[in-house]
């Protein structure tokens, strides 16, 4: 695990730390009352990882690689392919029906689906940004609002 905000590599994050506000400070938004602690543990491991096209490791990862790694580790689902394939393989979800773990898709290049992230709640999503690596962003930010293409839910 990478070191984030004063937590050493040897420390383990426990469920009671979620309640203490630790992750609220790390993620910069209040965690929902009902959430998947495993999801946040795994996201925490990836935060700050640099972007690397077609990357799938802690030394560099792209957006679809991040989705694949998180889905495998948290949900036991094998998500394959780039953002466009993930879009085609997911069941459409209305924006107002978004739930933690759903995928959010963007058309950042032309009219094609070219970016994907995982929805966390409170309009927040985790993704691998080309400029900032793995970060948490907000769907209401002008850039993401402009390029938002839809949401989907992967099932077995």
- Cα dihedral sign for 11, 13, 14, 20? positive
Check if 14 is active-site.
Answer: no
Considering the candidates 4, 14, 28, 63, report the single residue annotated as catalytic: 63
Contacts of 42-45 with C-beta under 8 Å, sequence gap 24+, read 42/69, 42/70, 42/73, 42/74, 43/70, 43/118, 43/120, 43/126, 43/134, 43/136, 44/1, 44/4, 44/13, 45/1, 45/2
Q: Tell me whether residue 28 is one of the annotated catalytic residues.
A: no
Q: Which of 4, 28, 80, 115 is catalytic?
A: 115
| DSSP-assigned beta bridge partners for residue 121 | 124
Q: Which residue has the tokens 């953002």?
A: 83
Given the residues 14, 28, 80, 127, select the one marked as catalytic. 127
**4 tagged catalytic:** no
- Could you give the residue numbers annotated as active site? 63, 115, 127
């Amino acid at each position: 695990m990478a070191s984030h905000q004063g937590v050493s590599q040897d420390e383990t994050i426990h469920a009671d730390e979620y309640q203490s506000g630790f992750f609220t400070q790390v993620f910069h938004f209040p965690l929902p009352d009902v959430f998947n602690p495993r999801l946040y543990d795994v996201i925490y491991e990836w935060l700050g990882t640099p972007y690397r096209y077609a990357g799938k490791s802690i030394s560099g990862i792209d957006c679809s690689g991040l989705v694949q790694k998180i889905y495998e580790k948290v949900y036991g689902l094998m998500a394959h392919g780039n953002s466009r394939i993930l879009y085609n393989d997911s069941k459409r979800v209305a924006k107002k029906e978004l739930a933690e773990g759903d995928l959010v898709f963007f058309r950042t290049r032309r009219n094609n689906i070219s970016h994907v992230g995982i929805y966390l709640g409170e309009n927040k999503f985790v993704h691998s940004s080309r400029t900032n690596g793995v970060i948490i962003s907000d769907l209401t930010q002008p850039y993401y609002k402009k390029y938002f293409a839809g949401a989907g839910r992967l099932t077995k």
